Amino acid sequence: MEKRRIITIFEVTGSALAIAYALLIASNTGYEVLGFALLLVSALLFAIWGIIDKRWAFFALQLFYIASAIIGLIRWS
């Protein structure tokens, strides 16, 4: 699979998951753990995209989001 197609898949999937996690956490309806799990997957996809595309600042930001997701999962579980 070509690099551009992989990046597009990670970008679109990561964005869709980010929208879903933001809505779940903001809705305060008891789905916070699912929201933080989606944040984790989204940030992992974005981190891989950052590595593939050599966008190191973007990759570093995703490490922060990964850590935030793990903290959220621990605190809300």
Q: How confident is the model at residue 1 (pLDDT cuts 50, 70, 90)?
A: confident
Q: Are 18 and 39 in contact (CB under 8 A)?
A: yes
46-71, pLDDT tens digit by residue? 999 999 999 999 999 999 999 999 99
Q: What is the pTM assigned to this prediction?
A: 0.93
Phi and psi, residue 28, nearest 5°: 50, 50
Residue 19: pLDDT over 90: yes
Q: Show me where the domains of the chain are located.
A: 3-76
pLDDT tens-place string over residues 21-49: 999 999 999 999 999 999 999 999 999 99
CA distance 70 to 68: 5
Please give the pLDDT value at position 43: 98
Residue 74 and residue 6: Cα distance in Å, rounded? 31
